[in-house]
Amino acid sequence: MVSVPERVYDVLRERILAGELEGGTRLHQENLSAQLGVSRTPVREALTRLAAEGLVELLPNRGARVAAVTLADIQAAFEARLGIEPFTARLAAERRPAAALKTLRAAIGEQQRARTPRATYKAIRKYHLTIVEAAGNPHLVRFAETLWSGRIGLHVYLRQLSPDMLAGDVSEHEQILAAIERRDGPEAERLTRDHIAHSLDRLLEASSD
């Protein structure tokens, strides 16, 4: 059975990673306690854990807020993704879990139907994290979830989203999924590496305008 502090931590962490709580958002213990139906103690414990992970900033005598993210933070996250996601794509192709293939196809459909940056980000995050999950390594999943913080993803896609870019992103996702479906690990790895590198290039180009 999950303890109250653990449940509060999981809820707040997911809200931050999914972009529901964006960088700079103030986190008032009283409000969170009321929303979650718990006392302030588990909320305080959860905020302390999240601060240790770099997702929350504790402000002396002023509570806490979701940590802000700089361009350097975003670039570092993309570089870290280049280190793990191509490898997990190879493993996903080798193991090819049926449930993951179905989820990946659904995520592409959600991305195509998305009409807002937040909805687009949600679908793209779901796609990439599903590939990591399909590799079957919980340590990699935990690390990837942190890299796919909503604070980072929303910032990226709010700045560079356009119909042409969205179409290109969908096409690259389709190609990666096709390689996974035919169990072509090396190709899935290569395509994923190229895809993330292209996204990083677009980010840096948009940031220099």
Please tell me whether residues 19 and 122 are part of one structural domain.
Answer: no
Please tell me whether residues 9 and 93 are part of one structural domain.
Answer: no
pTM of the model: 0.75
Q: How far apart are CA 150 and CA 169, in angstroms?
A: 18
Please tell me whether residues 99 and 55 are part of one structural domain.
Answer: no
pLDDT grade for 12, boundaries at 50, 70 and 90: very high
pLDDT tens, residue by residue, 161-192: 677 777 888 999 999 999 999 999 999 999 99
The domain total for the chain is 2
Please tell me whether residues 135 and 195 are part of one structural domain.
Answer: yes
pLDDT tens, residue by residue, 123-167: 999 999 999 999 999 999 999 988 887 656 666 666 666 777 778
Please tell me whether residues 54 and 75 are part of one structural domain.
Answer: no
Q: How far apart are CA 33 and CA 30, in angstroms?
A: 5
Please tell me whether residues 24 and 122 are part of one structural domain.
Answer: no
> What CATH number has the domain bearing residue 203?
1.20.120.530
Please tell me whether residues 151 and 112 are part of one structural domain.
Answer: yes
